[in-house]
Structure 1
Amino acid sequence: MPTGVHIRDARQQLFDAAERVLLRDGPNGLTSRAVTTEADVAKGVLHRHFADFDDFLAELVRDRIARMRVQSADLLAAAGTRTVADNLADALADLFGSVAVSVVSLLIFRDELRARLRATSPTGLPLLTEAAAMLVAYLTAERELGRIDADADVDVLAPTLIGSGHLLFADRDSGRPEAADLRRYVTTVIGER
């Protein structure tokens, strides 16, 4: 491990390493040692920037939530373009095709991590709560444009899409679902033909 070498943006380097570990080894493989080894830094680097490993994980989730704000703005800008199902399927693929599925597993099983994130996400499961809000905003815009039923309950549709998408992507061993399968789920949930 390098010592005495200045590391540019060590936090981001550690976050990127954690993502690679999560994608390769899943939540069970994510340890402070695995992260620092993957980042090729001394273990003390993590503890220099974060109070403990749960603090690191909380900041990793907050970083992913911040990234979702960009995705949310892009999805909202897509209202009125392409088909609603295509826009939603792409959004779900982006959301769950990343490290989000593994992060959700971490959040489910680490009570302390969820507790630390309550200031960021006071209700629900962090990251998925923000994803549902992203879909609600998009579906509301599409409803206002008349592209989905005027009576559509977007507050029910959004978490239904999140749950369906999560189930499709949760099996890490089978690989990503086919785009056609994801689109079929979306069209069934939103009632688009």
Structure 2
Amino acid sequence: MSPRGVSTPDVRERMFAAAERVVERDGPGALTSRAVTTEADCAKGLLHAHFAGLDAFVAELCLDRFARTAEQARALTRLVGQATVTENLDAVALALLDAAGPALSGLAMSRATSTRLIREALESGAPGFTAIEEAITTYLAAEQRLGRVPETVDPGTAALAIVGAAHHLLMTGGPGGPDPRPRVRRLVAALVETRH
């Protein structure tokens, strides 16, 4: 454990990762400030030293994970013409559904203040599902210009379907439920693969 007064490197990420482990393992109801700091093996008061309480911590955790996935989606433009369109899109869609995704969604939905903070941040421009949708739309349009996505595909509609399906699976799934990834993969393939 980090001694009192000693700097803990990457403390935010360390606590975020610890929270994800707690929620995945024990469910949203098990997440407390003490559970996070114990799992992160750091001083008990560290969470409150960096965040304005547990609700703010949960909101920041969810927003951080949204931002990471949005960045990954924006990186799709560097993959235009490489691998397959389905493989490239799968990586982003599945990032939304990684092991902690459903658990974090359940956690955020169970905490009204966290949900409000997340909504306010997204309304103020924090990257979320809209940024991911826009990045996928841009990517699909570029692939369409190369002939790798059928002309019959509307990039914006396909992006909305992918992000909307991931959002639906996050909101209706949970730890211990069926793996949502195969369904997302089938959806992506159905939307963008060329039919011969």
1:99 Cα deviation after fit: 2.1
State the 1:143 CA deviation: 2.5
Q: Residue 102 of structure 1 corresponds to which residue in structure 2?
A: 103
TM-score (norm 2): 0.78
The runs of 5 or more residues in structure 1 that have no matched partner are none
Q: Which runs of 5+ in 2 are unaligned?
A: none
Write out aligned runs for 1:32-51 (5 A). Answer: 32-51=33-52
Equivalent in the alignment of 1:53: 54
Report the number of matched residues: 192
TM-score, normalization: structure 1?
Answer: 0.79
Report Cα offsets for 1:40-59 as digits up to 9, x if no partner.
22331111111111111122
- Aligned partners of 1:155 and 1:110: how far apart in 2? 32
Structure 2 vs 1, CA of residues 162 and 187 (structure 1 numbering), >3 Å: closer, same or farther? Answer: same
* Inter-partner Cα distance in structure 2 for 1:154 and 1:136: 5
Q: 1:81 to 1:151 in 2, by over 3 A?
A: same
- The answer (yes or no) to whether the contact 1:27–1:106 under 8 Å persists in 2 is yes
Quote the sequence identity (%). 37
| In structure 1, distance between residues paired with 2:35 and 2:100 | 16
For residue 137 of structure 1, report the CA deviation from its aligned partner.
Answer: 2.6
Paired position in structure 2 for 1:183? 185
Structure-2 residue corresponding to 1:130:
131
Which residue in the other structure is 2:4 paired with? 4
Give the 3-state SS of the residue equivalent to 1:152 in structure 2: coil
CA distance in 2, matches of 1:137, 1:23: 33
Q: Is the 8 A contact 1:104 1:127 kept in 2?
A: no
Shifted more, 8-17 versus 127-136: the winner is 127-136
Amino acid at match of 2:175: R
Summarize the Cα distance change of 1:8–1:102 in structure 2 as closer, same or farther, 3 Å threshold.
same
Q: CA RMSD in A?
A: 3.1
> Relative contact order, CA 8 A, sep 6+: which one is greater?
2
Query: Residues 88-99 of structure 1 correspond to what in structure 2 (within 5 A)?
Result: 88-99=89-100
Tell me the equivalent position of 2:24. 23
